[in-house]
Amino acid sequence: MLSAQLPAAKPAVCILLITMAQVAGQEDGEKTTALKDLLSRIDLDELMKKDEPPFTFPKTLEEFEYAFNEHGQLRHTETGEAFIFNAREDLHRWNQKRYEALGEIVTQYVYELLEKKCNMTKAILPVDATVDEPTSFIYLSPNALSNPSKLLVLIQGSGVVRAGQWARRLIINQDLDSGTQIPFITRAMEEGYSVMVLNPNENYLEVEKSSSAPTEPSGEPVGKKERKDDQEGKKRREFYEKYRNPQKETETDRVPVRMNHREAEVRNKVCAVALTDSAHSMWLQETSKSTQDWMQQHCCNWVSSPEPLDTPLDSMLPDCPRVSAGTERHELTSWMSFDSIFRYFGKVVETKQDEKAEETSSTVTTRSSALKSKHQDL
């Protein structure tokens, strides 16, 4: 973008420099006024977008000329090359928008894999939502709500990822196995688990803010009036923030999906939690003391570290045990700790089953002794 704009941008830069030289000898107040007047006439948004191609991109992988090969790797259908982010030199915003468009297609592709490859069904939440109420959805294996033995619940981290994904970057640049939850789902089903895939990053409806704002009789916006220079500064900050975060083109409001909080019920039903480089904070989230104690006993966090896989690590805060995921890359921690996590779950489930067997045996023995005593009495 910069190279395309240089010929047109040079005169503007020269004018700016000349103007600054001319006001160098003026009083401070006059200099400030002149500079503000100049900046107010420069539309930074339009200046940065000049000569930028329109943000119109393909809607399918086929139109993008990409496809996943037999190894789950995204490759160009003609050249066989991996995805290239900088498809247009010096056009970061355009390249970022193109990447996001591909990411949305990948999200739908993963949804299809959950349904077709993993035989999962979509369930709308809340289950009793009204017609006009915001909703979200999760994915369930055929017996997710009826399996009396084992249920695996998968929850991705924060960000743009949706149900069934660990990291969009890995899906696009590495492969489906490392970037999606599908290997976890397949392994869990093989080991007799039912599976529930949650979708916490889609727990709101995003609506565009109204462009008009209520005003006072004077014509000024309601509330505290800002000085003009403050308004201009805010405008520039918002522009640069938009440039750094190009996916956020418009201001929006989020209407949350109705959710339930059942802390005690979850603690009673969940027997083990595996975290992968989790950024949680029990203190900032004001977690109850009972939940803190529960996490100490039932959770393990595989964190990014140069140490070998499963190496115990000192915890900065006493929330739950931490071990190495065998990688220093945050996005790879889930995939690298894959086998370790299932061994961890397996041991917990085995212990629970042994405890249940002992309780059953004790109950049967006690009942048998009681019946024998009653028979003797008779």
pLDDT of amino acid 184: 98
The pLDDT mean for the chain works out to: 80
* CA triple 104-108-109, angle to 5 deg: 110
Do both 201 and 284 map to the same domain?
no
Confidence check: pLDDT of 355 > 70: yes
Give the pTM. 0.73
Domain count, the chain: 3
Do both 173 and 197 map to the same domain?
yes
Q: Is 65 inside any structural domain?
A: yes
DSSP letter string over 49-102? HTTPPP----SSHHHHTEEE-TTS-EEETTT-PPP-S-SSTT-HHHHHHHHHHH
Do both 128 and 11 map to the same domain?
no
Q: Which residue has the higher pLDDT, 289 or 228?
A: 289
pLDDT of amino acid 89: 84
Q: Is 76 inside any structural domain?
A: yes
Q: Is 265 inside any structural domain?
A: no
pLDDT of amino acid 76: 97
Do both 253 and 132 map to the same domain?
yes
Do both 184 and 164 map to the same domain?
yes
Boundaries of domain holding 60: 54-207+236-260
CA dihedral sign, ordered 71, 75, 80, 82:
negative
* Strand 151-154 versus strand 194-197 pairing type: parallel
Q: Is 217 inside any structural domain?
A: no
DSSP letter string over 263-317? HHHHHHH---EEEES----TTTTT--HHHHHHHHHHEEEEE--SSPTT-EE--SS
Do both 197 and 333 map to the same domain?
no
Q: Is 107 inside any structural domain?
A: yes
Q: Is 220 inside any structural domain?
A: no
Query: Rounded to an integer, what is the distance from CA 342 to the centroid of its chain?
Result: 23
**Tens digit of each residue's pLDDT (9 = 90 or more) over 244-253:** 455 555 677 8
Do both 133 and 78 map to the same domain?
yes
Confidence check: pLDDT of 262 > 90: no
**Tens digit of each residue's pLDDT (9 = 90 or more) over 4-53:** 333 333 333 332 333 233 334 445 556 566 666 666 655 555 555 556 78
Contacts of 169 (CB under 8 A, 6+ apart): 179, 331
* Strand 204-208 versus strand 194-197 pairing type: unpaired
Q: Is 18 inside any structural domain?
A: yes
- As a whole-number percent, the residues of the chain with pLDDT over 90 amount to 50
Do both 88 and 9 map to the same domain?
no
The answer to whether 271 and 352 are in contact (CB under 8 A) is yes
Do both 186 and 288 map to the same domain?
no
Mean pLDDT of 304-331: 92
Q: Which residue has the higher pLDDT, 12 or 84?
A: 84
Query: Of 10, 35, 51, which residue sits at a domain end?
Result: 51
Do both 291 and 369 map to the same domain?
yes
Bridge partner list, 180: 165
Do both 8 and 26 map to the same domain?
yes
Do both 2 and 60 map to the same domain?
no
211 pLDDT tier (thresholds 50, 70, 90): low
**Tens digit of each residue's pLDDT (9 = 90 or more) over 97-138:** 999 999 999 999 999 999 999 999 999 999 999 988 999 999
Confidence check: pLDDT of 292 > 70: yes
